[in-house]
A and B are shown apart, each in its own frame.
Chain A
Amino acid sequence: MIEKVKFFLTVTGNNLWQFRTRNIFSVTIVCLSFLTVGIFMSLANNLRATARDLASNMTVAFYLDRSASAADTEALRQEVGKPAFVESVKMVTPEEALEKFRRGFPELADIVTGLKANPFPASIELRVNSKASASGEVVAFVDSMKTRPGVTDVLFNQDWVEKMQGFSRLAGAIGAFMGGILILTSFFIISNVVKLNVFARKNEIEILRLVGATNLFIRIPFWLEGIVLGFLGSLLSLGLLLVVINLFPIYLGASLGALQELLSFRFPNLTQAVGLLLGGAATGFVGSATSVSKFLKV
């Protein structure tokens, strides 16, 4: 058994080397296909993680009427703190809001420096339990508070969470669509490369048949070839993805400004990486098996 495995590996290695130019071509195509899938997967990963971060830090800010008395403000603070999904309640004074703005947007600090009056109103900030953040209960509560006297505006970041989740799904879908088309292309390319290899080795296959090789014995090296081509292509794509992820912030990141955070990449996790590798190997195997069964009449 070990002898046979060694034999198949040797034959596969020799064959890959013998037709190296066309094999390198098919590895490149597989690599580019899986790189496309990987890029969108990484982008989706980042958007998903951003959405998760937002969801776990979901806050609601109630901006208060400047004319509201201290008693009204206190009553409001008591009221918004009642629901069970509220984790914490914090009063933010106009001064604290101004300071927060200066810290958060240093490049815009000049805008507020020259102002005679503080433009920020006082607000009450609630931190919502992450488990309840997506529930309708929170949304209903926020809606009911919008019309409450003393409240001028409400800022609820659930919209952002939903947008992030939407972007993440969109990136995943674009990746799956484009990747799907490219993987299909890889499949046909591997299939055709193996077909060429089958034709190029017709004489050898004929000899193998005449000396008593089984159909399986003849097919296995071609299957292995397909698997190796697909696997190498996807492995190379993971390597390139790592390079893209590391170089992206250096060459393009700064020009994206505030979008950089959203459009950055997260390398696929172990399951995704293994999935990409197995996907490459499977593409190669199916492409090769189809070709072998179609063009190798054994």
Chain B
Amino acid sequence: MIELYHIWKQYQKPFWALDDVSLEIKDGDFYFITGPSGSGKTTLLKTIFREILPTEGQILINGVNILKIHDSRIYTLRRRMGIVFQDFRLMFHRTVFENVAVPLQVTGVSRKEIRRRVFNTLQKVNLHQKMWDLPSRLSYGEQQRVAIARAVVNNPEIILADEPTGNLDPELAYEIISLFKDINRQGATVIIGSHDRELIRHFGDNILFLQKGKIVGKEGRA
């Protein structure tokens, strides 16, 4: 369970990127955070994977206050999460296989096991036939699927995706979100930051609406 208590974040005075945000996300939830550009979606996601620290407030994941984890131990938190970015953040000089294998390599999984799990994951996102290609040879949608495969390859408890469909046409966007739905059905908590209302209306179980850093509405269990 992810619990956020009175989260405030200020990058520069007098603007608050997050303004007293409190919420609770249960294990296995499929969750959308939405709002216009600059509403604080990315900031909120970044605080959850501790890319940034909130100015005030507390964040608990499964009862552990992640703000109290020492910098040198952040990896213990990140290994339980899969993160997908709008700009994919792929290593373009490495093959698709190597990109997806990275989370397993950092945890010391054997080469044989890496091969098996990467292949299975790429099969799920239908990219197994392109696993030896460089990402630059793939389409936008395929690159996004590589990023998703990398995020889920080590079976994380939580998947965070920041505008995962931002650069994609509607058809591909539906395909990508369906993929997240499949992952969610297998037990992972999925939190997606998106401003695509159509998509949210179609897939959204739990929706949190942000505006200027404030929660302005909730739907579902949100």
- Interface residues of chain A, those whose CB is within 8 Å of chain B, are 1, 3-4, 6-7, 18, 203-204, 206-215, 217
In angstroms, Cα B51 to Cα A208, docked, is 13
Number of A-B contacts (CB under 8 A): 50
> In the complex the two chains form, is B79's CB within 8 Å of A212's CB?
yes
Mask for B131-158, Cβ within 8 A of A = 1, else 0? Answer: 0000000000000000000100000000
In angstroms, Cα B147 to Cα A203, docked, is 14
20 A-B residue contacts at CB 8 Å? A7-B105, A18-B93, A203-B91, A204-B91, A207-B90, A207-B102, A208-B102, A210-B78, A210-B83, A211-B79, A211-B102, A211-B103, A211-B106, A212-B75, A212-B78, A212-B103, A212-B106, A213-B75, A213-B106, A214-B75
Q: Which segment, of B107-115, B173-181, B190-198, faces chain A?
A: B107-115
Chain B residues 63 to 111 lying within 8 A of chain A, measured CB to CB, are: 72, 74-79, 81, 83, 89-91, 93, 102-103, 105-111
Q: Considering the complex of A and B, which 9 residue pairs feature the smallest CB-CB distances, nearest first?
A: A212-B79, A212-B78, A213-B106, A211-B103, A212-B75, A214-B75, A204-B91, A210-B83, A3-B110
For the complex, is B49 an interface residue (Cβ under 8 Å from A)? yes
Residues in chain A near residue B91, CB distance under 8 A: 203-204, 207
> In the complex the two chains form, is A4's CB within 8 Å of B108's CB?
yes
Tell me the minimal C-beta distance from B114 to chain A in angstroms.
Answer: 9
Tell me the minimal C-beta distance from A248 to chain B in angstroms.
Answer: 44
Tell me which of B103, B110, B150 has the highest count of chain A C-beta atoms within 10 A of its own C-beta: B103
Known: A203-B89, A213-B75, A215-B72. A208 touches B108 (CB 8 A): no
Residues in chain A near residue B89, CB distance under 8 A: 203, 206-207, 210
Q: Which of A3, A209, A217 contacts B111 (CB 8 A)?
A: A3
Tell me the minimal C-beta distance from A70 to chain B in angstroms.
Answer: 92
Residues in chain A near residue B74, CB distance under 8 A: 209
Q: Which of B75, B76, B108 contacts A3 (CB 8 A)?
A: B108
In angstroms, Cα B110 to Cα A7, docked, is 10
Known: A3-B109, A211-B103, A214-B72. 9 other contacts (CB 8 A): A203-B89, A209-B75, A210-B49, A211-B78, A211-B79, A211-B83, A212-B78, A213-B106, A217-B106
Tell me the minimal C-beta distance from B102 to chain A in angstroms.
Answer: 5
Tell me the minimal C-beta distance from B28 to chain A in angstroms.
Answer: 22
Residues in chain A near residue B103, CB distance under 8 A: 211-212
CB-nearest residue of chain A to B147: A207
In angstroms, Cα B91 to Cα A7, docked, is 16
- Interface residues of chain B, those whose CB is within 8 Å of chain A, are 49, 51, 72, 74-79, 81, 83, 89-91, 93, 102-103, 105-111, 150
Tell me the minimal C-beta distance from A263 to chain B in angstroms.
Answer: 50
> In the complex the two chains form, is A6's CB within 8 Å of B106's CB?
no
Q: Which of B90, B106, B111, B150 contacts A214 (CB 8 A)?
A: B106
In angstroms, Cα B81 to Cα A3, docked, is 23
In angstroms, Cα B102 to Cα A192, docked, is 27
In angstroms, Cα B109 to Cα A3, docked, is 8
> In the complex the two chains form, is B102's CB within 8 Å of A209's CB?
no
Residues in chain A near residue B150, CB distance under 8 A: 211
Residues in chain A near residue B75, CB distance under 8 A: 209, 212-214
> In the complex the two chains form, is A6's CB within 8 Å of B111's CB?
yes
Tell me the minimal C-beta distance from A154 to chain B in angstroms.
Answer: 75
Residues in chain B near residue A203, CB distance under 8 A: 89, 91
Residues in chain B near residue A3, CB distance under 8 A: 108-111
In angstroms, Cα B89 to Cα A204, docked, is 8
Residues in chain B near residue A213, CB distance under 8 A: 75, 106
Tell me the minimal C-beta distance from B26 to chain A in angstroms.
Answer: 23
CB-nearest residue of chain A to B73: A214
Residues in chain B near residue A7, CB distance under 8 A: 105
> In the complex the two chains form, is A212's CB within 8 Å of B107's CB?
yes
Residues in chain B near residue A212, CB distance under 8 A: 75-79, 81, 103, 106-107
Residues in chain B near residue A209, CB distance under 8 A: 74-75, 78
Residues in chain B near residue A206, CB distance under 8 A: 89
CB-nearest residue of chain A to B102: A211
CB-nearest residue of chain A to B111: A3
CB-nearest residue of chain B to A216: B72
In angstroms, Cα B100 to Cα A211, docked, is 10
Residues in chain A near residue B107, CB distance under 8 A: 212
Residues in chain A near residue B110, CB distance under 8 A: 3
Tell me the minimal C-beta distance from B117 to chain A in angstroms.
Answer: 14
In angstroms, Cα B91 to Cα A214, docked, is 18
Tell me which of A3, A212, A215 has the highest count of chain B C-beta atoms within 10 A of its own C-beta: A212
In angstroms, Cα B175 to Cα A231, docked, is 51
Residues in chain B near residue A4, CB distance under 8 A: 108
Tell me the minimal C-beta distance from A39 to chain B in angstroms.
Answer: 40
Residues in chain B near residue A18, CB distance under 8 A: 93
Residues in chain A near residue B106, CB distance under 8 A: 208, 211-214, 217
